[in-house]
Structure 1
Amino acid sequence: MLRSLLLALALLPAFACAQEAGDWIAYRDAYRHMIWFEKYGKPKQFLQNHLRLRPRDAGVSTDGLRLTLHGKGAQLALPLDALGRAVFPFSRAAYDDNAELAWNRKPGQITSIAWVSIVTRPDGVYAAADLRAACEQLLAYLRSTGGANGKRCAGVQFSYARMEAAQVRYQGGDGAPVPLAAQEGPAFPGDAVAGFRVFAYRFSAHPDAGQVLTSATPLAIAALLE
């Protein structure tokens, strides 16, 4: 179940990975792919887009991983979250300067990609119908890029650090909340790095009239496409 591929993310046109000559990409290449989401005109209020640094295999450590924008005479550190995502800096000056985005890993260890995921809520309360809508929005966006053909939304996945004692429950009607089973796996299906505490909420198992309750804000919410 946790191997359900979030194909759109894998199939999104990946802008230049860490090139053979070095651990960097051209800012202009990244910009061209990140701007697609900004210009996407269909509903996307449940979605967010990041520039993500993603290990090619499980043996690549992300401890101390840093991303820096290098322009003419200036550098800007871009903070990464626990899953290697950064807020992309849309900058005309960086574009005109032909700036570079670089990270501190050997060439070929890390790929860079435009990464779409579902927005988390600080109150930890997710209407089941909204989660389905979020998955459908993500699927529609991925199809607009030419990916996820033949896939459907099967559910969503909440991910946490392995040692975090988080709980995710489904509340339907007037009944008692039903805990979702915790498993170990990747934060996003298809990632090489696993070891996260993940909870899969599958649409077929619960009515849309309920809600999902989380005890803490997850690192990410991924769509499960099958």
Structure 2
Amino acid sequence: MMRASRQLVAAFAWLPAVAPAVVHAEAPAGEWVSYRDAYRAMVQFEKYGGPKNLLQSQLQVQSRDHAGLGEGAQLTLTGRTTQLNLPLDALGRTVFPLQKAAYDENAALVLNRKGMPFVLRPQVTIAPRADGQYDAADLRTACAQALGFVRYVDASQRARQCAGVRFVFPKKESAGARLRHADGADQPLPVTAGAAFSGDPDEGFPIVTWRFGTSAERAQVITYNAPLAIVPIFE
């Protein structure tokens, strides 16, 4: 099994996803990240006993110098009896496999970018809907679920509140969303460009931000195409 000649210099530590609350780990150039370290961070979402039916948890990979991973990036989980390729989406995320054998062997997570130091971070986002229609009440509930989890792993986040959601779209597709009011009237929502997650480099992803405000109006956010991620905003 692949192993580096020196010890991994950074371990997982909690800091927040949409403000400071995600776990991250750094690998030096040409190094690997311990599967056990990643597992201990990612399993917290599985163990969380609060409501989370509207959420999803994924592992995000970033180059440490924010240079971008480029197309075709993937992680490989490799151990004595384990070999699994983990393709990354446009935001550098993959579904993290929880495997007893890989944990027992302390398998290595290796990026197919020779000499590139990289960072791993758990990212908890709102699960997308196939029909692209999101009830305002469901978005509020999903944001509250995400905030509950963030507070579970980091007590310092208890002062934060849900402020809205950020829809992140692919760069090469037409992006946008509209707000449908209870009376059936549609209101286009502005599209900006920026980073998908707080702390990410600004890679110019099309972004639609919808802030909850104080209105309890029954409304829907309708997306024109599938978002890459729906990120809760805490303030």
- TM-score of the pair, normalised by structure 1: 0.88
Q: How does 1:23-172 map to 2 (within 5 A)?
A: 23-72=31-80, 74-105=82-113, 109-146=117-154, 147-172=156-181
Tell me how far 1:77 sits from its aligned partner: 0.4
1:128-172 Cα shifts (integer Å, max 9, x gaps): 010011111111110111153422111001111233212201111
Percent of aligned positions with the same letter in both sequences?
46
Q: Does 1:219 align with 2:189?
A: no
Q: Which amino acid aligns with 1:188?
A: F
Identify the match of residue 186 of structure 2 among 160, 177, 180: 177
Tell me how far 1:175 sits from its aligned partner: 3.4
Distance in 2, Cα, partners of 1:215 & 1:206: 24
1:36-59 Cα shifts (integer Å, max 9, x gaps): 100100000111111110233443
Identify if the C-alpha distance between structure 1 residues 10 and 174 changes in structure 2 by more than 3 Å, giving closer, same or farther: closer
Tell me how far 1:104 sits from its aligned partner: 2.3
Cα pair 2:31 2:110 within 8 Å, conserved: yes
* Gaps in structure 1 of 5+ consecutive residues: 1-5
SS of 1:133's partner is: helix
Distance in 1, Cα, partners of 2:221 & 2:229: 15
Cα pair 1:163 1:197 within 8 Å, conserved: no
Deviates more, 1:34-43 or 1:157-166: 157-166
Identify if the C-alpha distance between structure 1 residues 55 and 9 changes in structure 2 by more than 3 Å, giving closer, same or farther: farther
SS of 2:113's partner is: coil
Identify the match of residue 212 of structure 2 among 203, 209, 212: 203
Q: Which amino acid aligns with 1:49?
A: S
Distance in 1, Cα, partners of 2:159 & 2:113: 36
SS of 2:76's partner is: strand
Tell me how far 1:107 sits from its aligned partner: 5.6
Q: Which amino acid aligns with 2:77?
A: L
Cα pair 1:66 1:78 within 8 Å, conserved: yes
- TM-score of the pair, normalised by structure 2: 0.85
SS of 1:114's partner is: strand
Match of 1:16 in 2: 25
Cα pair 2:82 2:102 within 8 Å, conserved: no
Cα pair 1:189 1:224 within 8 Å, conserved: no
Identify if the C-alpha distance between structure 1 residues 9 and 184 changes in structure 2 by more than 3 Å, giving closer, same or farther: closer
Q: Which amino acid aligns with 1:31?
A: Y
Tell me how far 1:92 sits from its aligned partner: 0.9
Tell me how far 1:224 sits from its aligned partner: 1.3
Structure number with the bigger relative contact order (C-alpha 8 A, sep ≥ 6) is 1
1:114-141 Cα shifts (integer Å, max 9, x gaps): 1111100010010001001111111111
Cα pair 2:76 2:109 within 8 Å, conserved: yes
Tell me how far 1:206 sits from its aligned partner: 5.4
